[in-house]
Structure 1
Amino acid sequence: MRKAKPAGRKVTDIPADRLAQLNTGAAARTLTECLAVDFAALMGHVLPTIGSDALTGMRQAAATGISRRMPLAARLIADHLGPSGLDDLGTHASDTVRGWCCFMIGLPGATDLADRLDAIRPFADDPHFGVREWAWMALRPHIAAELERAVALLADWTGAPSPNLRRFASEATRPRGVWCSHIGALRHRPELGLAILEPLRTDRSSYVRDSVGNWLNDASKDRPDWVRELCARWTAENPTPDTLNLCRRALRSLHPDQ
């Protein structure tokens, strides 16, 4: 998630009554609120029958990063509810709970990648910024494990009516990304992602184009000449303000003063 924190605000600044709302299922309004949720408290409220062992495990993980706690919560819930968990929780008001569903879809197992992508689609198009980020993070290990197939599948998403889905295709395959492991193959061979990048370079949504620019900025840290050449071609082929802004974002690490 890259929605900016409110300036100077910390998790400890959130009023007690607002924390109580978050821990009983209210949707977070900011990244700071997302980070403030007490997973054990929320899980106990949403799933009162999950058992003390699961809640103890969640409490013991409270000091770990949120990107570690999300898959842990998903595993504990999947162990308790089984496949019905997605049906039970997938439309819950809490963005954190819906995020847990994303990681349930991403749990290790023999599920085919295409089936995982079909299952994640409503979460990738969720109205909440946080759920949309959890959606791609949850499937990223599987995307990296079957990269060429994933790119081929996600290339179809670039024509989706929703900009959220189009952005998912770009964000899920960023070579470096945010709060996630790098995809080594794309760091060294970013051209593998062109089937996704080319259709999105003139996307009508700045939300999508900014993701493409960030994708290329990632790539510029390992393949700067490739990114320069690609941006030069795109600018020559389509010299619009949108293309210029996308390429400026793509090249910002190489030209930080611009």
Structure 2
Amino acid sequence: MSKGVADIAPARLALLNGGAVASATLTEGLAIDFSMLLAAAVPTIGEDRLALMRAQAGAGITRRMALAAQLLLDTRVDLAPLQAHASDTVRGWVCFAIAARPDLDLPQQLAAMRPLADDGHFGVREWAWLALRPRLAASLDEAIALLAPWTAEPSERLRRFACEALRPRGVWCAHIARLKQQPQLALPLLQPLRADPAVYVQDSVANWLNDAAKSQPEWVRDLCGQWLADGSNAATQRICKRARRSLA
């Protein structure tokens, strides 16, 4: 495995930039030249748009993901083939394109994002919730109601999305002020997952509560106490232990 960008073999980097393979690590994903990948994935994109992409080469990756998605929308590229592209980064661009489409309401965006939230690649799953999070946060009550049924999905990836997308603090994203102050609003998402058998989901629930504990520690203590008193199992015990890791 590569330890840093400089450690990536030139032949491997060429495959990543050409969209022939998916990234195996976050480091590989960060090393990709977006303008080269965009030219390979969408040969008709045009030099002017590639120049815009090159001009943002030093920007943060989330900003570059959003720009690539907007260029796809501006060019009216068919997103369907890109959603099945070998490159996880290209599929990530589709996530941001779905989130940026003005013609879709939130239920339609969630429906379109669903297969990407259930993608086999870890990176695409992260881009799915990161891309849609601002829209979800802007319509928080509706978002919680729409995501609540996802907590019962057979796929642990979709169950995790329902929780991860609305973490109060999150990673690489803006905080959600209402959930920092009123974490109880998310109980329709958290309560059904309190004993989830998947570690992937358990970690998300625990991290959600750890976020909340930084603003509302007593609420997290009380909720974990209730869960543990209601006939807890190993999953609930693990969630609560991790959820309270930052509490004195």
For normalisation by structure 2, the TM-score amounts to: 0.97
Alignment of 1:57-76 (within 5 A): 57-76=52-71
Residue type of the alignment partner of 1:12: A
Work out whether 1:104 is the aligned partner of 2:90: no
Work out whether 1:34 is the aligned partner of 2:32: no
Residue type of the alignment partner of 2:17: N
Residue 159 of structure 1: CA displacement? 0.7
Aligned counterpart, 2:114: 121
After superposition, the Cα gap between the structure-2 partners of 1:46 and 1:240, relative to the gap in structure 1 and judged at 3 Å, is same
Aligned counterpart, 1:234: 227
Alignment of 1:1-258 (within 5 A): 9-25=3-19, 26-82=21-77, 84=78, 86-107=79-100, 109-255=102-248
Q: Any idea what SS the aligned residue of 1:173 has?
A: coil
Q: What do residues 29-80 of structure 1 show as CA deviations (whole Å, max 9, x unaligned)?
A: 1111111111001001111111111111111111111011101000001111
Residue 240 of structure 1: CA displacement? 2.1
Contact (CA 8 Å) 2:180, 2:212: kept in 1 or not? yes
Q: Any idea what SS the aligned residue of 1:29 has?
A: coil
Residue 15 of structure 1: CA displacement? 1.0
- In structure 1, distance between residues paired with 2:191 and 2:168: 16
Residue type of the alignment partner of 2:11: D
- In structure 2, distance between residues paired with 1:78 and 1:110: 12
* Runs ≥4 residues deviating over 4 A: none
Corresponding pairs, count = 247
- In structure 1, distance between residues paired with 2:101 and 2:225: 41
Aligned counterpart, 1:3: none
- In structure 2, distance between residues paired with 1:12 and 1:62: 17
Q: What do residues 90-139 of structure 1 show as CA deviations (whole Å, max 9, x unaligned)?
A: 10010000000000001152421000000000000000000000000110
Structure 2 unaligned regions, length at least 5: none
Contact (CA 8 Å) 2:195, 2:233: kept in 1 or not? no
Residue type of the alignment partner of 2:150: W
Q: Percent identity among equivalent residues?
A: 56
CA RMSD, Structure 1 to Structure 2 (Å): 1.2
Q: Any idea what SS the aligned residue of 1:210 has?
A: helix
Q: What do residues 122-162 of structure 1 show as CA deviations (whole Å, max 9, x unaligned)?
A: 00000000000000011001100100010000001011110
- In structure 2, distance between residues paired with 1:54 and 1:175: 35
Residue type of the alignment partner of 2:56: A
- In structure 2, distance between residues paired with 1:53 and 1:215: 42
